[in-house]
Structure 1
Amino acid sequence: MTSTHIDVSVIDFDALGAWMDAEGLPGGPITGIAPVPGGTQNVMVRFERGGRPYILRRPPLHARRKSNEVLRREARVLAALRDTPVAAPRLVAAQTTQEPVFYLMEPVEGFNPSTGLPEPHASDPAIRHRMGLEAAAALAELGRVDPGVLPGFGRPEGFLERQVPRWLKELDSYGELDGYPGPDIPGLPETADWLTRNLPRSFTPGVMHGDYHFANLMFACDGPRVAAIVDWEMCTIGDPLVDLGWLLATWPSNNGHVPGLPQPREIIAYYAALSDRDLSAIGWYAVMACFKLGIVLEGSHARAFAGKAPKEIGDLLHATTLGLFERAREFMGGALD
């Protein structure tokens, strides 16, 4: 077995085989067991049985308080998307009635660009440029899914109106941490005020990923296509344009690991060509994403004051927050017009 921090001994493979038999999946010995690196919240293991490969996803041995509920949610989302064209991992089966919750999915043949580029992507600027457009296309495809596939999921009524108060309340809660002097974020009240005054009048509810950025995409090994959108734990029914705003707010300003990506305006135009959603207020969604993400990251800065996170991490994320609010100012000034 591969040497890694992931401990596959938390999985009872005899019990797993019996459960798979009951699910009517191909039988035989479980072979080729190998940890799948890339996440710290849950355990992922690849294996084969009956000539078919699988990825198993389950909580760690010492699960966090919400670990099982998060996996129930993910399994429900992946089941709902299984028969759609959305580039989501294909769910095979899920065990959600007992804890630990786990599910099986088909392996995704692809790579994550945050870890570097293989060939032909590394050498072909046309492929790299197209990767950015395919990120927009995959998001537009998700935005076309009928939200009725997830009945009772999320609270779309008043979704946009809740965002600014929700995240200001989150920021206020950091004051409970010992030693945190409060947020020193230039432009914070102005951004909140601008968002409130420029709130879009209406939106069409749809399925949202909730954390749509390049590091949550896997690309096909032979070209620019998005092979899978991963990490669905924040998925909800809301306004899908929030996902597009999130992509723009987190878009690699220096192109990160992928040189030659399209500019944000090109991303917007490509999404617009594939969607019937009204993008006239797209600047609002990008500002909202900067506002929310900046406040989320400030939480680590606050925890560092209280000794609950490393100071260097807190300082780094605070600097990122300041950069996000500076970017919000650019968006408010019409940078995406």
Structure 2
Amino acid sequence: MVDDTIPVRPGEELNIGALEGFLRKNVLDLPNEPLELQQFSMGYSNLTYQLKVGEWEAVLRRPPLGPVAPKAHDMKREHHILSSINPYFQAAPEPILFSDDESVAGAPFFLMERKHGIVIDTEFPKGIEPTVEKCRQLSYVMVNRLADLHSIPYEKTGLVEISKPEGFIERQVHGWISRYERAKTDEIKEIRPLINYFQQNIPKYSQTSIIHYDYKINNAMFNQDLTEMVGLFDWEMSTIGDPLADLGVALSYWTESGDPELIKIGVGQASVTTLTGFLTRREFIETYAARSGRDVTNVDFYLTFGYFKLAVILQQIYYRYKKGQTDDPRFSNLGKTVKSLLTHAANVAAKEV
């Protein structure tokens, strides 16, 4: 088993006494042993912790420190999403409880099932050789589970009550443009033609399904031989919407060896998807189309929008860093990554028009 946790980062500690007291009041049959707390090392957004009391374990998620964007990091909503999806999609962790008592973890939070397996990001774990065959196999698991998620009969889930599928992509375009304007820190010349492109090319027809909307390889967990996805995390953006928007977001994360350097390295090192054997984005699209039976004619629009959405998410984090709302040094160079993503998105859009 790969160790995916670290000691809690300075400044992101929780009140262990308050948390343990809460657990003993609200979790049945908790062992009579002290609470152990660790933090998951990956992720730039919500804070995620491993809780252990003897053999009992769970995961706690809460929003990041400091002010957050409106409607972002809604823990109650994410808990509801997992409650709705877990019965149909076992890779989604089973939720345990939600609490808005900020005295426990400093913000609203929820607890969910702790899954175990292999998480892959910029390299394969020690002992696993990244052969062409394994890379190919992992690619197909990623594509097929995305198509499977989109095949769930969403009308039977609790997501219907918090979703408005009609006009989804139009609202998304205007909504993410507004988020960018609110979080803007630098003038980037590519942004205006890119916004014009989105506004003028919104698809007139869109399909509807459950979407994850942050689907990437390091949000997934796999079994030991990498043949199955045993976990899929970070469901806060999930909703009922256009599955091609979900595909576009997945493709924006699925970097290739020939991509511009800043696109490949993103916020650190290049993803494993740049290794020989992983599907290209075009092969990913073709495999998804074959598995799902969906029309992917307009996929380039959705890929361009996926790059833009990713740029806005990073810009929101960079805005918090620039305003002194967080001093995490990992965020200091995000401005360059945002500019690179917007430039790349504008180049992709220019090839379509």
| TM-score category of the 2 structures, normalised to the smaller one | 0.7 to 0.9
How far apart are 1:224 and its partner, in Å?
3.8
The yes-or-no answer on 1:184 pairing with 2:193 is: no
Contact 1:86 1:138 in 2 (8 A): no
State the Cα deviation string for residues 152-205 of structure 1 (Å, max 9, x = none).
Answer: 223222111223333333344356x6xx4x3322xx444444444443232232
The yes-or-no answer on 1:12 pairing with 2:15 is: no
Q: Of 139, 143, 152, which residue of structure 1 is paired with 2:146? A: 139
Residues 18 and 207 of structure 1: CA distance in aligned 2, closer, same or farther (over 3 Å): same
| CA distance in structure 2 between the aligned counterparts of 1:291 and 1:280, rounded to whole angstroms | 20
Contact 2:206 2:242 in 1 (8 A): yes
Letter in 2 for 1:137: N
The yes-or-no answer on 1:116 pairing with 2:137 is: no
TM-score under structure 1 length normalisation: 0.80
How far apart are 1:87 and its partner, in Å?
1.9
* Secondary structure of residue in 2 paired with 1:204: coil
State the Cα deviation string for residues 80-107 of structure 1 (Å, max 9, x = none).
Answer: 112113521222x213464454433322
Residues 307 and 107 of structure 1: CA distance in aligned 2, closer, same or farther (over 3 Å): closer
Structure 1 residues 154-163 or 166-175, which shifts more? 166-175
Structure 1 residues 146-155 or 290-299, which shifts more? 290-299
The yes-or-no answer on 1:46 pairing with 2:55 is: no
Match of 1:271 in 2: 288
* Secondary structure of residue in 2 paired with 1:113: coil
| CA distance in structure 2 between the aligned counterparts of 1:19 and 1:303, rounded to whole angstroms | 34
Alignment RMSD: 3.4
Residues 78 and 245 of structure 1: CA distance in aligned 2, closer, same or farther (over 3 Å): same
How far apart are 1:238 and its partner, in Å?
1.3
Residues 318 and 123 of structure 1: CA distance in aligned 2, closer, same or farther (over 3 Å): closer
Match of 1:84 in 2: 88
Q: Of 23, 32, 35, which residue of structure 1 is paired with 2:38? A: 35
* Secondary structure of residue in 1 paired with 2:74: helix
| CA distance in structure 2 between the aligned counterparts of 1:238 and 1:97, rounded to whole angstroms | 28
- Structure (1 or 2) with the larger CA radius of gyration: 1
Match of 1:326 in 2: 347
Letter in 1 for 2:84: A
Contact 1:290 1:327 in 2 (8 A): no
Structure 1 residues 300-309 or 262-271, which shifts more? 300-309
* Secondary structure of residue in 2 paired with 1:109: coil
Match of 2:261 in 1: none
Letter in 1 for 2:343: L
The yes-or-no answer on 1:170 pairing with 2:179 is: yes
Match of 1:245 in 2: 248
Letter in 2 for 1:46: L
Letter in 1 for 2:251: L
Q: Kindly report which structure 2 residues correspond to 1:211-290, keeping only aligned pairs within 5 A, or say none.
A: 211-254=214-257, 256-258=270-272, 259-260=275-276, 261-290=278-307
| CA distance in structure 2 between the aligned counterparts of 1:108 and 1:167, rounded to whole angstroms | 32
How far apart are 1:328 and its partner, in Å?
3.9
Any stretches of 5+ residues in structure 2 without a counterpart?
A: 258-263, 265-269
Contact 2:81 2:235 in 1 (8 A): yes
TM-score under structure 2 length normalisation: 0.76
How far apart are 1:115 and its partner, in Å?
4.8
* Secondary structure of residue in 2 paired with 1:232: coil
Structure 1 residues 37-46 or 305-314, which shifts more? 305-314
* Secondary structure of residue in 2 paired with 1:36: strand
| CA distance in structure 2 between the aligned counterparts of 1:323 and 1:165, rounded to whole angstroms | 20
* Secondary structure of residue in 1 paired with 2:110: strand
* Secondary structure of residue in 1 paired with 2:255: coil
Contact 1:114 1:215 in 2 (8 A): yes
Letter in 1 for 2:15: S
Any stretches of 5+ residues in structure 1 without a counterpart?
A: none
How far apart are 1:77 and its partner, in Å?
0.9
Contact 1:116 1:257 in 2 (8 A): yes
| CA distance in structure 2 between the aligned counterparts of 1:301 and 1:321, rounded to whole angstroms | 14
| CA distance in structure 2 between the aligned counterparts of 1:215 and 1:241, rounded to whole angstroms | 20
Give identity over the alignment, percent. Answer: 23
